[in-house]
Amino acid sequence: MPERCAVIGVGQTHHKAKRDDVSIAGLVREAAKMALADADLTWADIDAVVIGKAPDMFEGNMMPEIYLAPALGAVGKPMIRVHTAGSVGGSTALVAAHLVKSGIHKRVLTVAYEKQSDSDAMWALSVPQPFAAPLLAGAGGYFAPHIRAYMRRSGAPEHIGRMVAVKDRLNAMRNPYAHLHLPDIDMKMVEDSMMLWEPLRYLESCPSSDGAAAMVLAAEDAISGQYPPAWIHGTAMRSEPTMFAGRDQVNPQAGRDCSADVYAQAGITNPREQIDVAEIYVPFSWYEPMWLENLGFCELGDGWKLTESGATAFDGDIPWNTSGGVLSSNPIGASGMLRFLEVAMQVRGQAGEHQIDGARLALGQAYGGGSQFFAMWVVGSDKP
Amino acid sequence: MSAAGRTPRPVSIASFAQAKNVRRDQERNEVEGLMPVIAEVFGNIGITKDDVDFICSGSTDYLIGGPFSFVMALDAVGVWPPRSESHVEMDGAFALYEAWVLLQEGEIDAALVYSFGRSSLGDLREILALQLDPYYLAPLWPDPISLAALQARALIDAGKATEADFAAIAARSRRDALANPHAQVALDVSADTLLEDEYVVSPLRRHALPPITDGAAAIVLAAGDKAARWSEHPVWITGFDHRMESHALGARDLTSSPSTAKAADVAGVADGPIDVAEIHAPYAHQEIIVKQALGLGDDVTINPSGGPLAANPLMSAGLIRIGEAAARIASGEARRAVAHATSGPCLQQNLVCVLEGE
């Protein structure tokens, strides 16, 4: 049997378009120090460090764990660098969780980051490769056709995407660490913003952020910290190929399998009923209704109706992305970990203005690549 | 025994395969290069991808010069239906470690680990300089050979080695590689002849540098019933650890490797006699440093495969050390072996894996 594992400390930076006050090392250290303080620990208490980020070509720093080791107190310790595309922040937390669940370590620091102002993601994603179609339009250009396919399949009306864009930005107003604080956000403002990749408008897309996230994970006999632990009830990863005939990119099998796995571990048979709050990787507005269906919160084709009904709003019965989500802060490599971190904060009762009262069981999800890599965890305030 | 004092769950190296290491593989892309390796690693023990519960790979985008090189590489396995899968931007030896960690939990019994990389596609002296501190070091473009030369010079100045020692290691590696069908640089040449080479960066001559190699490797790990079913005489991982050092070269004693020593201690290298060591020392002088840090005597056979001086496929060379060490035990040549992998300039990060036969 795996050991029990819990989140005992969380930390994140103030995410911004440009954090030109810190180096990359300064950025990750800021989040890590906050997580250590939250856990009432010092660097010396940490057994191992697991770090993740999106492609190295973003910042132009190859295998950056080599450079970041001293800044993260990893000298003399094991250090692992995870890279699983956009899901990496989630996968990184899962690798750290396994170091504890396996009984190998007692306390593991896990960190994820991106310093997009030091980088050019659009360029890095669009480098021509032999025998491969270039992705000249970045991630939005890749996902827009799948969104159109979803709209056609489900018959969802156009305003659904705008509703998500507004809802997540309103949530971000409650989160002091969020990159975007748009107090005047409303449907009209989203509708008036520039069309980027039809049907996605500027305000239906994630920002480009500098930021880092960090967590301390601990074994049952090493619990400490300012808040109660967030116990890990389930962890799962799934991958499927980028492309082949018959692959459903709107509702990927890997996402469905991953959620089935993590729900089974956590004893969840009715996600909408049992999950109190969820942080789901929604970099483009329409991914909320798409993932509502993929994650089994409703029947196929009904995701948009849930969004439209207000069920996923802050005061709805299944609040999604209480932090403001990827739509409000997107330090790419850290975006997955921020989802995992937010749900840990919720079940620990430390989310402040964005706290959902009585949150006891929560789902964090991250995805990456061409909707082909998935990482999920379920955390709860009760010991599993 | 590990740091936490626990006895690891027995996990075996059930199968190992590697590509023929070559200077330049331009006819095949990463997927095409990996496919025969994956087929062989499964074929060796008559299994398919359906028999493994987890997949983990190691690679770096900087070799192909594009993001997400691991994404397409997954097509070499064919992850349909979807699989539990992960990737480290590290040598495959670290991917093996991640898979081994998962197997420790006791919920799954088999994993596929693979790694790949074509070092020939770009200029490694430029590419590897990008591993360095991007603010204070990388802008000066100190290349990996020059940094290794600093380390070799420090070793000579400390009286711990001579240039003739480097040549002797290179000559032994080339000679041993003659028996390795996968090796790239294999020839019978004397150390004296090698010493006639010009310096590339003093005190390192060409023979003390790793060859530029394109390659790939894969290992299947097994535990429980599968370990017994897939190998008549399983080769067990009995200790496994890795440790990091500072990135500040000036803050390190480059003539020693405390991270290797620490990992060796945690992995229990000294708990019994070692017959064979496969050391991932891309530069000849680094073998001396690692050998000492591992606490190995002169009776231990070092790099019978020819080691990284005979073939150094970036991102696979560490994983291959583990596979080669396991192969010595499987063939009966050794009973207990240690494999080592490294990452970063001047042996900054080191991994140690202890393997034992029955």
Helices then strands, counting H and E runs in chain A, come out as: 12, 11
Closest by Cα among B84, B8, B109, B243 to A103: B8
Tell me whether residues A56 and B60 touch, CB distance under 8 A.
Answer: yes
Q: How many CA atoms lie within 13 A of B151 on its CB side?
A: 31
Asked if residue A91 lies in contact with residue A336, where contact means CB atoms within 8 angstroms, the answer is yes
Amino acid in the structure at residue B59: S
Tell me whether residues B6 and A104 touch, CB distance under 8 A.
Answer: yes
Asked if residue A363 lies in contact with residue A246, where contact means CB atoms within 8 angstroms, the answer is no
Return the DSSP state at B160: S
Cα gap B329→B224, rounded to integer Å:
20
Cα gap B33→B54, rounded to integer Å:
21
For residue A93, give Cα distances in angstroms to A121, A344, A364, B52, B353: 23, 12, 11, 23, 24
Domains of chain B by residue range: 6-123+212-230, 130-211+238-356
Span B197-216, pLDDT tens digits = 999 999 999 999 999 999 99
pLDDT score recorded for residue B6: 78
In DSSP terms, which residues pair with B343 in a beta bridge?
Answer: B349
CA pseudo-torsion sign B225, B226, B227, B233: positive
> Which residue of B69, B88, B243, B353 is the best one to mutate when testing the A interface, meaning the one whose CB has the most A CBs within 10 A?
B88
pLDDT score recorded for residue A136: 63
Residues in B closer than 8 angstroms to A102, CB to CB, are: 101-102, 104-105
Q: Which residues contact B177 (CB under 8 A, 6 or more apart)?
A: B183, B184, B185, B186, B187, B305, B306, B310, B311
Q: Which two tokens stand for residue A289?
A: 């209704």
Return the DSSP state at A299: -
Q: Which two tokens stand for residue B233?
A: 């005489």
- CATH class of the domain defined by B130-211+238-356: alpha beta
Surface-to-core class of residue B179, CB atoms within 10 Å of its CB (0-12 exposed, 13-18 middle, 19+ buried) = exposed
Cα gap A97→A91, rounded to integer Å:
10
b or e along B28-38 (b: 16 or more beta carbons within 10 Å of the residue's beta carbon)? ebbbebbbbbb
Q: Which two tokens stand for residue A8?
A: 């005992």
Angle, alpha carbons B60-B61-B63 (nearest 5°):
80
CB < 8 Å from A in window 15-74 of B: 29, 55, 60-62, 64-68, 70-72, 74
Q: How far is A180 from chain B (nearest CA, A)?
A: 27
Q: Which two tokens stand for residue B122?
A: 């770009």
> What is the block-wise mean pLDDT of chain A (384 residues), using blocks of 10 residues?
96 97 98 98 98 93 96 98 96 98 98 93 77 71 95 98 98 98 98 96 97 98 97 98 90 98 98 98 98 98 98 98 98 97 98 98 96 97 97
Average pLDDT, stretch B240-248?
A: 97
For A106, the closest of B4, B79, B97 (CB atoms) is B4
A155–chain B Cβ distance below 8 A for any pair: no
pLDDT score recorded for residue B3: 45
pLDDT score recorded for residue B4: 46
Amino acid in the structure at residue A354: H
A305–chain B Cβ distance below 8 A for any pair: no
CB < 8 Å from B in window 335-354 of A: none
Model confidence at B2: pLDDT above 50: no
Cα gap A39→A103, rounded to integer Å:
20
Tell me whether residues B131 and A76 touch, CB distance under 8 A.
Answer: no
Closest by Cα among B233, B216, B234 to B109: B234
B197–chain A Cβ distance below 8 A for any pair: no
pTM: 0.98
> Which residue of A5, A24, A104, A237 is the best one to mutate when testing the B interface, meaning the one whose CB has the most B CBs within 10 A?
A104
CA R_g for chain A: 19
Q: Which residues contact A370 (CB under 8 A, 6 or more apart)?
A: A142, A242, A243, A249
Tell me whether residues B72 and A237 touch, CB distance under 8 A.
Answer: no
Give Cα B215 to chain centroid, integer Å.
12
Model confidence at B1: pLDDT above 70: no
Q: How far is B326 from chain A (nearest CA, A)?
A: 23
Asked if residue A230 lies in contact with residue A343, where contact means CB atoms within 8 angstroms, the answer is yes
Cα gap B130→A335, rounded to integer Å:
24
For B105, the closest of A91, A101, A261 (CB atoms) is A101
Amino acid in the structure at residue A126: S
Query: Looking at the predicted complex, does its ipTM rise above 0.95?
Result: yes
Say if B6-123+212-230 and B130-211+238-356 have the same CATH topology.
yes
Tell me whether residues A1 and B106 touch, CB distance under 8 A.
Answer: yes
Q: How far is A118 from chain B (nearest CA, A)?
A: 10
Strand blocks (E) in chain A: 5-12, 48-52, 79-82, 107-115, 195-197, 200-201, 210-219, 230-239, 277-279, 361-368, 373-380
Cα gap B112→B54, rounded to integer Å:
6
Angle, alpha carbons A89-A90-A91 (nearest 5°):
95
Cα gap B303→B176, rounded to integer Å:
8
Cα gap B75→A160, rounded to integer Å:
35
Span B118-149, pLDDT tens digits = 999 999 999 999 999 999 999 999 999 999 99
Mean pLDDT of chain B: 96
A159 membership: H or E segment, kind and range:
helix A159-172
Closest by Cα among A366, A71, A334, A268 to B244: A71
Surface-to-core class of residue A272, CB atoms within 10 Å of its CB (0-12 exposed, 13-18 middle, 19+ buried) = middle
Q: B6-123+212-230, superfamily in CATH?
A: Thiolase/Chalcone synthase (3.40.47.10)
SS3 assignment, position A191: helix
SS3 assignment, position B302: strand
Cα gap B30→B146, rounded to integer Å:
29
